[in-house]
Amino acid sequence: MRHPQRRARRAGAALAAVLTWAGLLAGAAGCSSDDGAGLGIDHVLGGAPPAPEDVIRISPGDGTKAVRPGARLTVRVPGGRLESVSVVKSQDAQDSPVPGHIAADGTTWQPDDPKLALAAKYTVDAVARDGDGRRSARHTTFTTLVPDERFIGYVTPENRATVGTGMIVSLSFSRDIDNRAAVERAVRVSAQPDVEIRPHWFGKNRLDFRPEHYWQPGTVVTVGLELRDVEGARGVYGLQHKTFTFTVGRSQVSLVDAAKHTMEVRRDGNLLATVPITAGAPAHTTYNGKMVVMEMHEVTRMNSQTVGFGGEYDIPDVPHALKLTDSGTFLHGNYWAPDAPGRVNVSHGCVGLLDVKGGSSDTPAGWFYDRSLIGDVVEVVHSNDKTVAADNGLGGWNMGWKEWKAGGAVT
């Protein structure tokens, strides 16, 4: 059964509602009063949402390139509160989150580490509510400076090495360092058992670390390089981020007496043997002082022209050679002057032990070589020469502890 009157009433009510809403809109849009009581359409509808960039301010700005490491990464809202912030750093084909925190009042976010990485892309995603409770979200990216120039540090000793108790941690940098304090802070050397370890600079490109006395046997030393993005000189930034360790083995200290032509070899304080030696001749004396074994070669070539002499010698097969200084002092086997060890000094500054051509473990030189480690100490006394310089090889043990500590850049 049909009810035409009921349908007509419903249609009329709907039409009235439409006309009433249209009138409200027309009045809101067209009417105003001098006292500002008139309502615009945005107020009636709750207000048009503001642009996300007006609610959430992110610095550096979206799309910014070559941002320098001193710039600050911040996310803030002029009014309202941040709900969440996520920042991801993309560097060396790896993504990693950037830890940070929103302030207690909810208006700002900052990273825990304010320093920006170089050669990286940062992606920021933030969500916030404005003062009227409306939610906004922003997604921005920026990239940091890609340096034209980098530096690295070449480290002695090698990772996982077992060394003698005289080893000094030595870093040789590929570029001169002007900001020595910043680089020094970025290198951490620690030991277990704990011992005070201090740095000393030699010029602008070498930084050494050592304790006051030789390491205790069994000590494990950890070297941490946090050099990546450290500005070592104007526009020159570090590249390395790595950690390595080495272990201190037994103690072996050998005392060369150039006047007596002997070497006493002591292991953990106990005398193992007294070995005949030949040191530098009167015209080419051997340095006095403490020297540390830097390299070991079962056989090597020695040419006088490579160490500043003329053409006095060129021996292609020197056996059992242990390098003691950068300037060319070695302790090595000697087969060409078999009558010299124990009797007379005939070398050009090296310390020679009796050996045979091709080398043999049954000779004094072979015996000593087989019982040596990089990092062992060889000390020369009673030579008619000066004490070896602290930066000639790993000669830092010839410097007093007070003077050594004074050579650090960080006070």
* Distance, CA of 79 to CA of 398 (rounded, Å): 65
Burial grade of 356 (CB within 10 A; 0-12, 13-18, 19 or more): middle
Q: Are residues 377 and 259 in the same domain?
A: yes
The pLDDT of residue 243 is above 90: yes
pLDDT digit string (tens) for 290-332?
Answer: 999 999 999 998 886 666 666 666 889 999 999 999 999 999 9
The per-residue pLDDT for range 347-377, each reduced to its tens digit, is: 999 999 999 999 999 999 999 999 999 999 9
- Say what the pTM is: 0.79
CA dist 183 and 151 (Å) reads 11
Are the CB atoms for 221 and 248 separated by under 8 Å?
yes
Looking at residue 130, which CATH number applies to its domain?
2.60.40.3780
DSSP 288: B
CA distance 208 to 189: 10
Instruction: Name which of 198, 251, 199, 189 is nearest 220 in CA terms.
Output: 189
pLDDT of residue 10: 41
Encoding tokens for residue 261? 């032509």
404 in any annotated domain: no
Rounded to whole angstroms, how far apart are CA atoms 321 and 299?
A: 6
- The full DSSP string for 328-365 is S-EEEEE-S-TT-TTT---BSS-EEEE--TT--TTSHH
Same domain, 61 and 191: no
Q: Residue 169's domain is classified under what CATH number?
A: 2.60.40.3710
What DSSP string describes 192-238?
A: ES---EEEEE-TTSEEEEEESSPPPTT-EEEEEEE-TT-EEETTEEE
pLDDT of residue 304: 66
If asked whether residues 257 and 241 sit together in one domain, one would say no
Residues 258 and 221 reside in one and the same domain: no
Of 218, 249, 280, which marks where a domain is finished? 249
327 and 282 inside one domain: yes
Residue 8 lies in a domain: no
| H-helix or E-strand spanning residue 326 | none
The answer on 100 and 180 residing in a single domain is no
Percentage, residues of the chain above pLDDT 90: 83
Indicate if the pLDDT at residue 11 is higher than 90.
no
Report the domain count for the chain: 3
Cα–Cα distance for residue pair 77/88, rounded to 1 Å: 20
Range of the domain at 197: 149-249
